[in-house]
Amino acid sequence: MLEKERFAVHWLTHSVEAGIQDIDSASEEELRAVNLAGTARVRALKDEAADARLEPLEEGSMLDLKLELSRRMLTRCAFCERRCGKDRTGESRGYCGVGAQSRYSSDFLHMGEEAELVPSHTIFFSGCTFRCAYCQNWDIAMHPESGRRAEPAMLSGVLLEGISQGSRNANFVGGNPDPNLHTILETIKLVGHGGRFLPMVWNSNMYTSSESMEILEGVIDVFLGDFRYGNDDCARELSDVDNYFEVVSRNFKTACGSAEVMLRHLVLPGHLECCTRPIMEWVRDNIPGVYFNLMFQYRPEYRASLFPAIDRRLFSEERSKAQAMAADYGIT
């Protein structure tokens, strides 16, 4: 996973011509069709391990096309499956409350992520598309106006500086990266040649829209995604989200076809049978062998005291049971 000195996929996408006369004046439908065809060309290049003579294009690349698509989407936002349809370039805001100007609370070389990723240069964006009752990052996730302005020119400089300090990848999280798709794409474009070996990590709740997933293929090297609920009722009650299982499972399948995937499952107190088991069963049947991180660090934070069933840490028996379940389903 994440071999050193292997070109990051964004660099290929930045080096491949979109093959369209004028990206700015093309219709969204046309851009979407070209995106699918161009992304297939990038996929083929990736499979060939790429040609070292490729160089980022000043303009007209597949990365420019994806960036333009994201800017169009911002005017009727469907970055995530809430599909608020708001024009975020004006005063309107959707569920996440994030405007056109992304904000972030911090960035640093994170040593607490999975061993395969660290040091991981993590950027914590403000705002989120979920309202998890037990959110550990609620101070930034629930306050989209908090933090500093996330300017792509500055963020790309910060990421390049991080490479010299030993970072192995750029990790976009929050909150959640989805509301900041346009900012992240522009940042990646500006990283350019200097970041050609810097893989990009999309660290999310996997409630991304299918259109955004199409844009992300060819830009993102690793989907580091949460799969938390095994049914829609628990998702609605604890994260205020509808149609959870269908959307998240769809995105994990898509991600497995386009990039490396690291699935995180945080075991919730009292949710072994309703959540942990159905997720493991689905993984066994649909994406067997996927990197699966079974996580036990739940602690009741934020508004967890309003939900008595999750207002405690895990019992040690729950941990053992989850581990035994994983062994039963062939998850290691």
Contact stretch for ligand SF4 (CB under 6 A) within 47-55, 94-102, 190-198, 224-232: 94-102
Cis peptide before 218 (omega within 30 of 0): no
Q: Which two tokens stand for residue 307?
A: 């939900």
Tell which one of 78, 158, 256, 290 touches ligand SF4 (CB under 6 A): 78
Please give the residue whose beta carbon sits closest to ligand SF4 in the complex.
94
Range list of H helices, the chain? 9-15, 28-47, 62-73, 138-141, 152-164, 181-191, 210-216, 232-239, 244-256, 277-286, 316-328
If the CB atoms of residues 76 and 193 are measured against ligand SF4, the closer one turns out to be 76
Q: How many residues bind ligand SF4 (CB under 6 A)?
A: 15
Cis peptide before 269 (omega within 30 of 0): no
Tell which one of 16, 34, 56, 95 touches ligand SF4 (CB under 6 A): 95
For residue 296, what are the contacts with CB-CB under 8 A and spacing of at least 6?
267, 314, 319, 322
Distance CA 143, CA 147 (A): 9
- CB of residue 248 vs ligand SF4: minimum separation in angstroms? 14
Q: Is 96 in the site for ligand SF4 (CB under 6 A)?
A: yes
**Residues in a beta bridge with 17:** 61
Contact stretch for ligand SF4 (CB under 6 A) within 63-71, 92-100, 149-157, 238-246: 92-100
Subset of 126-185 contacting ligand SF4 (CB under 6 A): 129, 178-179
Q: Is 80 in the site for ligand SF4 (CB under 6 A)?
A: yes
- CB of residue 164 vs ligand SF4: minimum separation in angstroms? 33
DSSP string of 156-176?
A: HHHHHHHHHTT--EEEEESS-
Distance CA 67, CA 15 (A): 14
If the CB atoms of residues 92 and 286 are measured against ligand SF4, the closer one turns out to be 92
Q: Is 86 in the site for ligand SF4 (CB under 6 A)?
A: yes
For residue 204, what are the contacts with CB-CB under 8 A and spacing of at least 6?
173, 176, 177, 178, 223, 224, 225, 226
Q: Which two tokens stand for residue 303?
A: 């508004």
Q: Is 84 in the site for ligand SF4 (CB under 6 A)?
A: yes
Q: Is 83 in the site for ligand SF4 (CB under 6 A)?
A: yes
Contact stretch for ligand SF4 (CB under 6 A) within 11-19, 57-65, 88-96, 296-304: 88-96
Q: Which residues bind ligand SF4 (CB under 6 A)?
A: 77-80, 82-84, 86, 94-96, 98, 129, 178-179
